Structure 1
């Protein structure tokens, strides 16, 4: 059983930044990369809103550079995912891929949140080529183009309204006649002349020419009529699911599953466990805010370990 002072679960901007800062503090962090090393940005083509890149940067390139920067300072990486965690034990225990067990003094959770997808043909293949789950990230690319928002909640209304700043036309597609969004959000969207509505339909397929999205095929739930709505982009806005199931309820979370942190810190309900990035942020979900929270987590861990220096947990067998 290998012991580590600091383990980071997850990568992406939050995990990589936490690795950079904790490695520079000589904490020699071990980063468990998860099933998608680099996180959601590895599925993004061009990132134009990350500070310091005047002409933008490819998402995979940005993540690879962050990883190399962390490795430069002494962080180590292992492919795999945490399958079991015991945060009540001292030292804490983490099992990776159901076979390798580690003990750790401090744990940083940067496992992110996964956008819920429709699970229809063409959706996965066209991510980054017309299919998106983030209007704030990708709206700029659809200036003077037609886009579709799939969803009926507050997030869908908010993203549709935001996209009208760029797109020539925004169509909200929802599977029911009634929307889940609050009345104020619905009223705001309905008052926007750029927003069109296609309700009570089931999304069936993302249509493309092989290189870019050209539309969305839907089926009318009442008449069973099938038609294709022309569009240059399709934004999926049916919610996110924080990746916290592996914690088995050991930490305080909100009703959706996002980890609750204390005030402005990255501290969780369990001493020695810290959270950063989208796994604790249901509001902003941006690369730069995730990176900032990763910095906070690493600094919090350093201070925590300084205060815990009298505990020789690495020698404990409990």
Structure 2
């Protein structure tokens, strides 16, 4: 029986592991077999994470997170969670290859997944010109004209990074202004290789064996035109990874896991959530890390209350024990 089972290996999951391990709870962290480290594994230089005045690459930051968590005794397992049973006092977590885990508490920190355009040719041409990760695939587009779809910080970061390889980068956005932060906008506007295509949406991707162009629709007059490119990078946001808890944990209107106030407490006792999976607004590495801290402290408090309640129950103080658990 584990005290704490952490599902997810981004900043929230690893920070929760660091705090839980330092509290002597001997957590086990279940990281994905193929996506361990979360979205930061696909991020270039991070300049706004405290403690790194010269910046740090995303994969390097996540390696440090893992090293610190393991230093304090976290067991990290690279496996995929396939099924959860969170309703009872004992939580059961099933994995693909490592068997079942039982725990007194679960911290759910699965982050979010890349959002797709929803076009029929998007999946067909995935890996043949369509990508969601500039750091993963940018090198393969050396000397080509490519496009990035989106208007937020992620899109500006992708576009700026891709200018290292591409001869030209079109940024396609549905509106005539960006959602990105000012510093990210300024960098993109100042880059001579970036050209903005305003008030346009991608309604088609062309190409047989590989992407050779896009069909764009004007969002104002509805007219369509063809844009010849050799690659498409989609950076239109992310969706919280909540499929494992559907029917068990309450969700918000935004699709994130609902928690109580500023805590990490979900609708089920002993189940806590942290990071992007509860945050539809800020979605930063530092806010996810802070959220992981909250989850670990909430779990520690809950476990302490359980232990105290067991002692009260043994002494015949049943009502007091039930009240203590209810307040945890």
Q: Indicate the TM-score class for this superposition, using the shorter chain for normalisation.
A: 0.7 to 0.9
Give the aligned length. Answer: 275
Aligned to 1:37: 36
Secondary structure of the residue that 2:48 maps to in structure 1? coil
User: Partner of 1:82 in structure 2?
Assistant: 81
1:260 aligns with 2:289: no
Corresponding residue to 2:196 among 143, 149, 171: 171
Distance change >3 Å, CA 216–CA 6, structure 1 → 2: farther
1:197 matched to which residue of 2? 199
Query: Are 1:13 and 2:30 counterparts?
Result: no
Q: Which residue of 1 aligns with 2:63?
A: 64
Q: Paired residue for 1:142?
A: 160
1:190 matched to which residue of 2?
Answer: none
Match of 1:290 in 2: 288
Q: Deviations over 1:164-201 (max 9, x none)?
A: 433227635xxxxxxxxxxxxxxxxxxxxxxx333464
Gaps of at least 5 residues in structure 2 are 139-145, 311-328
Mapped partners of 1:153, 1:98: distance in 2: 46
Q: 1 CA distance for matches of 2:183 and 2:229? A: 21
Change (3 A) 1:287 1:153: farther
Give the aligned partner of residue 186 of structure 1: none
From the superposition, tell whether residues 234 and 220 of structure 1 become closer, same or farther in structure 2 (CA, over 3 Å).
closer
TM-score (norm 1): 0.74
For 1:223 and 1:138, how far apart are their aligned partners in 2? 24
Change (3 A) 1:100 1:199: closer
Q: Match of 1:300?
A: 298
Deviation at 1:226, TM superposition (A): 3.0
2:94 aligned residue: 95
Structure with greater helix percent: 2
RMSD, matched Cα:
3.5
Residue number among 210, 214, 218 corresponding to 1:218 in the alignment: 214
For residues 235 and 170 of structure 1, the distance between their equivalents in structure 2, rounded to whole angstroms, comes to 16
Kindly indicate whether the alpha-carbon contact (under 8 Å) linking 2:111 and 2:241 is maintained by their aligned counterparts in 1.
yes
Secondary structure of 1:21's match? helix
